[in-house]
Structure 1
Amino acid sequence: MPRIYHPEALRPGQTLALPPEGTRHVQVLRLQPGDGLTLFGDPTAGGEWHATILRMGRSSVEVRIDDHAAVEREPARAVHLAVGMPANERMDWLVEKATELGVASIQPLMTERTVLRLQGERADKKQAHWRAVAVSACEQCGGNRIPTIHPVRTLARWLEQLPAGAGPWRGVLSLAAGSQPLAQALPRDAATPVCLVHGPEGGLTPAEDAALRAAGFAPVSLGPRVLRAETAALAALVQALC
């Protein structure tokens, strides 16, 4: 059944018009009155709602809300990625695949070796674009919770704003001597949240790596192979989720 993101409170028997993005999705699929679909994103009920198409217009779709299913498909562990943004479309790919796997949030970072430099309106547009990529991935994979896509930050500013005290376990993919395999370093409790940092193409500089370790990030590795930035992020995410 097609899935449409609709981030508003819903109730059984309610009729409503789909937002423009949902309308286009339904029209592309050539659905007709009487066809069913699933809405998700309700901030109060969570889960997902079954709905039926009542009317198809040239630029509008009206549906009836039928019943609620209290189903969630999120991992037991919340994993937050802070990523030195890879160049070109690779960041889009990273956001899409990380969402499919179940990432809780993504913090795009500008580091010294980051090729993609964003600020102001351009950064805001990219954030909105990546959120749309995450929404589309959730519609496809069955996730009912859109990962948070944070505003672009420099690594230094992000470190300044990190809350002190208790929080997720922290790790940084590092080439520093003594880095422990990620699978061994992760907390044994599968419900403990995790924050993982990795650099862009070329990796983090020694100074950035040291700043992260000084902020409580344990240096970890994924093994002897050299992985692309986006591949490393996803490999680390999978290990943390497992």
Structure 2
Amino acid sequence: MPRFHCPLSLAAGARIALPPTAARHVQVLRLQPGDALTLFNGEGGEWTATVARMGRSDVEVEVGAHAPVEREAARAVHLVVGMPANERMDWLVEKATELGAASIQPIAAARSVLKLAGERAAKRQQHWQAIAVAACEQCGRNRVPPVAAPLLLSDWLRQSAPEGARLVLSLRDGARALREAAGGAGAVWVLHGPEGGLTAQEEDAALAQGFEPASLGARVLRAETASVAALAVLGLA
């Protein structure tokens, strides 16, 4: 059954107009009055719904019953990622959402190729958030992970003191395996660099803020692969 994100107040028996993006998708799928679909608004659970009217550019649906279904990972894994360039960040956001990331914080580090600011940064954030929404529609998640505005790594470290295990992916001697370093923490923050990784100075700055070095093994992974691997190790349930 088609699933659509509908960031509105939903209630059984209500008749609502779908937001423009969802309405376009319904029209592309050529759904007709009486056809069934599923709605979720990101606040928990999902609703059955039925197409009530198809306009030229708008779609009305009748909301049915609410099902308190959640498909979140057992552990909240928050990614703090050095943004890879080109379409690699789009891929990272999509796959991280499918794998259950609780949130995604893009950062710019010393070796970053992609550096964003101002209006360009705001547009990319909106683009990445839309990718997360589409991934939730596809994979069945009913809670959309927030994709934060890009920040400099130094600014994020200065502003943030997240609760839970704080881990920075590292190739340093003595770094513990990621799963071991996370232990039984219910929330885990995983920081890693962009192409070329974090500099030694950046790793030191993270350690000074309470991060612990953690390892995904001896191989050097691409930035987007590191995120996916970390979620596979920590987040799949």
What is the match of residue 11 of structure 1? 11
Deviations 1:154-198 (Å, cap 9, x if unpaired)?
0000001113xx712100001222111112212235xx1000000
Partner of 1:183: 179
> Residues of 2 paired with 1:184 and 1:11: CA distance?
44
Contact 1:75-1:102 at 8 Å conserved across structures: yes
CA distance in 1, matches of 2:54, 2:149: 36
Identity %: 60
In the TM superposition, 1:124-203 aligns within 5 A as 124-163=122-161, 167-189=163-185, 192-203=186-197
Q: Match for residue 48 of structure 1?
A: 46
Aligned to 1:97: 95
- Contact 2:171 2:218 (8 Å CA) reproduced: no
Q: CA deviation at 1:10?
A: 1.2
Provide, for residues 44-71 of structure 1, a one-character-per-residue CA deviation record: whole Å limited to 9, x for no partner: xx20010000111110111001111110
2:33–2:53 contact (8 Å) kept in structure 1: yes
- Secondary structure in 2 matching 1:210: helix
Q: Is residue 47–residue 144 contact of structure 1 (8 Å, CA) maintained in 2?
A: yes
Task: Give the TM-score normalised by structure 2.
Answer: 0.97
Q: Does 1:217 align with 2:218?
A: no
- Kindly provide the CA deviation profile for residues 208-230 of structure 1, in whole angstroms up to 9, marking residues without a partner as x: 01111111111011111121110
Q: 2:98 and 2:48 mapped to 1: Cα distance? A: 22
Counterparts of 2:33 and 2:210, CA distance in 1: 56
Contact residue 82 and residue 194 of structure 2 kept, 8 A: yes
Q: CA RMSD in A?
A: 1.1
* C-alpha contact 2:10 2:41 (8 A) present in aligned 1: no
TM-score of the superposed pair, with normalisation by structure 1: 0.95
Structure 1: gaps of 5 or more residues: none
Give yes or no for contact 1:37–1:52 (8 Å, CA) kept in 2: yes
The residue aligned with 1:208 is: 202
5+ residue gaps in structure 2? none
Which stretch of the first structure deviates more once superposed, 90-99 or 174-183?
Answer: 174-183
Match of 2:20 in 1: 20
Shift of 1:241: 1.3
**How many matched pairs?**
236
In structure 2, the residue corresponding to 1:55 is in which secondary structure?
strand
Residue identity opposite 2:170 in structure 1: S
